[in-house]
């Protein structure tokens, strides 16, 4: 596979990110209500697809970026892509763990992990606070992630380091 096929955008429209987070909340709550393990499969797939190549193979992200966002009024609000990819990777971890737990019959644990995912997605969708992005920027400030990974994050990282 080509590198371009498995790439993530350098910048992301924050409106799209918030709408995808809303879709994650809906998908997650459907699982919490019905408690059928297979309901977590599309959620986990969506996260894996978004980490691998942005919206290219994620049905939810395609719906949001190609149908919903173009119909919104106003200009795009671009934010750095690497922190959003990191946040999607955390979502992948949580959704895959929830799926595995549900498949193994650990329904209560799967619900708890899914509700943690709902909490993080709700912060993004409702108030525009990306928890994964905040963690990513903190990792840059601590030197765990090199600043070169996200040049757009340098200002945020500098403010965090000053604290």
pLDDT at 130: 97
Going through 46-149 in order, the beta strands assigned E by DSSP cover 78-80
pLDDT at 29: 98
Say how many CA atoms lie within 13 Å of 148 toward its Cβ: 1
> String of b and e for 65-74 (b: at least 16 CB within 10 Å)?
beeeeeeeee
Boundaries of every domain in the chain = 11-127
Is 43:24 a contact under the CB 8 Å cutoff?
A: yes
Cβ neighbours for 14, distance < 8 A, ≥ 6 positions apart: 76, 77, 78, 79, 128
pLDDT at 148: 85
pLDDT at 1: 45
Closest by Cα among 78, 64, 83 to 16 = 64
pLDDT at 71: 97
Cα–Cα–Cα angle for 106, 108, 109, rounded to 5 degrees: 65
In the chain (163 residues long), the average pLDDT of successive 10-residue segments reads 73 96 98 98 98 96 98 94 96 98 98 98 98 94 88 62 58
Quick check: pTM over 0.85? yes
Going through 34-109 in order, the beta strands assigned E by DSSP cover 78-80
Closest by Cα among 89, 103, 99, 105 to 139 = 89
pLDDT at 6: 80
pLDDT at 7: 87
């Amino acid at each position: 596979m080509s590198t371009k096929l498995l790439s993530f955008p350098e910048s992301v429209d924050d409106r799209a990110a918030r709408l995808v987070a809303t879709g994650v909340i809906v998908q997650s709550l459907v699982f919490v209500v019905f408690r059928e393990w297979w309901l977590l499969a599309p959620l986990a797939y969506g996260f894996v697809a978004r980490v691998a190549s942005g919206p290219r193979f994620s049905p939810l992200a395609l719906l949001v970026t190609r149908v919903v966002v173009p119909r919104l009024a106003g200009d795009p609000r671009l934010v750095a892509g690497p922190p959003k990819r990191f946040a999607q990777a955390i979502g992948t971890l949580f959704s895959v763990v929830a799926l595995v737990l549900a498949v193994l019959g650990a329904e209560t644990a799967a619900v708890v992990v899914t509700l943690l995912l709902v909490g993080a997605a709700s912060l993004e969708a409702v108030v525009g606070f990306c928890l994964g992005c905040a963690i990513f920027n903190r990792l840059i400030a601590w030197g765990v992630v090199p600043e070169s990974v996200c040049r757009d994050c340098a200002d945020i990282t500098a403010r965090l380091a000053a604290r």
